[in-house]
């Protein structure tokens, strides 16, 4: 039986094509998938990391950005300990949609959920959103902020490790612990994993390719949810 102290659920949201799946695969599998197709419904991966001497299991839910899957993906917000809202720094419409995503989060997520704004694709030289604009948006909306490149593996490990460290801190300091530890205990009964090392969100600054900005798609009701132990 696998031994770990906490189980945290992390959910990635944001427009189609901003790189959510690539961020998850970079972190869990250490690769940048060539020709990554659009996510259908919701996918998840698991990675166990060690932070501050504790084994932490991260259950990472990768949601489809396409509007037609929205009703399915919303149902995953509620149980999230952390929500990563991703935009593409080279695609203004993905940034312009952030207020819509925040409304979704406010409506469907736990009010205490840890929120992190991520500007992905920093490797691209056709940037449209300056770092400072992203930082200010995050600050205004009480989110942590980080820019990443799934392609170049820039800040991807840092993103997830710092979220884990922050969640541990919250869990140790107050009631959050009950939920995370209980979830871990319950999960341990049933059953994958990878490994890592430790760092601590304080250092994150203040608190699509095929993008279909803010909606547009038509629901066809079809979806899948697949799991991978990374
Ligand atoms: N240059 C660059 N391209 C990236 C990066 N991350 C993702 N991409 C590309 O962006 C496209 C979309 O990536 P995905 O990871 O599928 O995007 P997604 O947000 O999961 O999209 P949905 O599943 O439709 O919601 C792919 O062509 C990736 O190769 C990055 O860091 N840099």
Indicate which CATH number applies to the domain containing 67.
3.40.50.300
Is there a domain that residue 200 lies in? no
pTM of the model: 0.83
Within 10 Å of residue 40's Cβ, how many Cβ atoms? 16
Write out pLDDT tens, residues 21-80.
Answer: 999 999 999 999 998 899 998 899 999 999 988 899 999 999 999 988 888 888 899 999
Q: Is 122 in the pocket of ligand 1 (CB under 6 A)?
A: no
Is there a domain that residue 143 lies in? yes
Cα 171 to ligand 1 centre (Å): 32
Q: Is 119 in the pocket of ligand 1 (CB under 6 A)?
A: no
Looking at the structure of the chain, the number of domains it has is 1
Write out pLDDT tens, residues 85-141.
Answer: 999 999 999 999 999 999 999 999 999 999 999 999 999 999 999 999 999 999 999
Within 10 Å of residue 73's Cβ, how many Cβ atoms? 24
Is there a domain that residue 136 lies in? yes
How far is Cα 108 from Cα 102, in angstroms, rounded to an integer?
10
Is there a domain that residue 140 lies in? yes
Are residues 61 and 228 in contact, defined by beta-carbon separation less than 8 angstroms? no
83: CB partners within 8 A, 6+ apart: 10, 11, 12, 13, 77, 105, 109, 113, 114, 115, 116
């Amino acid at each position: 039986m696998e031994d770990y102290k906490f189980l945290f659920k992390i959910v990635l949201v944001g427009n189609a094509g901003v790189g959510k799946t690539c961020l998850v695969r970079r972190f869990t599998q250490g690769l940048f998938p060539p020709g990554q197709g659009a996510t259908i419904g919701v996918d998840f991966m698991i990675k166990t990391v060690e932070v501050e001497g504790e084994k932490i299991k991260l259950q990472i839910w990768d949601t489809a950005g396409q509007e037609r899957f929205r009703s399915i993906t919303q149902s995953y917000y509620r149980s999230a300990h952390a929500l990563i809202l991703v935009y593409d720094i080279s695609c203004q419409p993905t940034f312009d949609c952030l207020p819509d995503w925040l409304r979704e989060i406010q409506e469907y997520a736990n009010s205490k959920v840890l929120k992190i704004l991520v500007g992905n694709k920093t490797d691209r030289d056709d940037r449209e959103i300056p770092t400072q604009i992203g930082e200010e948006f995050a600050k205004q909306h009480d989110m942590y902020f980080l820019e990443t490149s799934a392609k170049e593996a820039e800040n991807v490990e840092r993103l997830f490790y710092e979220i884990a460290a922050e969640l541990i801190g919250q869990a140790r300091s107050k009631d959050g612990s009950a939920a995370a530890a209980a979830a871990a205990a319950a999960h341990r009964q049933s059953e994958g994993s990878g490994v890592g090392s430790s760092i601590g969100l304080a250092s994150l600054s203040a608190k699509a390719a095929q993008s279909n900005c803010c909606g547009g798609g038509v629901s066809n009701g079809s979806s899948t949810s697949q799991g991978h132990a990374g």
